Structure 1
Amino acid sequence: MAELMSNQTKPLVLVVEDEAALATMLRYNLEKQGFRVDEAGDGQEALTRISEAKPDLVLLDWMLPVMSGIEVCRQIRRRPITRDLPVIMVTARTEDGDAVRGLNTGADDYITKPFNMDALLARMRALLRRSGGVSAKGMLEFHDIVMDLSAHRVQRNSRPIHLGPTEFRLLEFLMQHPRRVFSREELLDAVWGPDIHVEPRTVDVHIRRLRKSINGPDELDLVRTVRAAGYALDSETI
Structure 2
Amino acid sequence: MKIENSVVLVTGANRGIGRTFVEELLKRGAAKIYVAARDTAAVADLLKSGDRRLVPLPLDVTDPYQVAAAATVATDVTLLINNAGFAAFDGAISAPTMDDARTEMEVNYFGPLALTRTFAPILAKTGGGIINMLSMLSLISLPMAGTYAASKAAGLSLNRSIRAELGAQGTQVIGVLAVQTDTAMGAKLPEPRLSPVEVVTDTLDALEAGTNDEVVAGGQSRGIYQAFTADPQKIQAMMLTRLPKRA
Please report the TM-score for the alignment, with normalisation by the length of structure 2.
0.41
Structure ranking higher on relative contact order (CA contacts 8 Å, 6+ apart) = 2
Higher helix proportion (structure 1 or 2) = 2
Higher strand share: 1
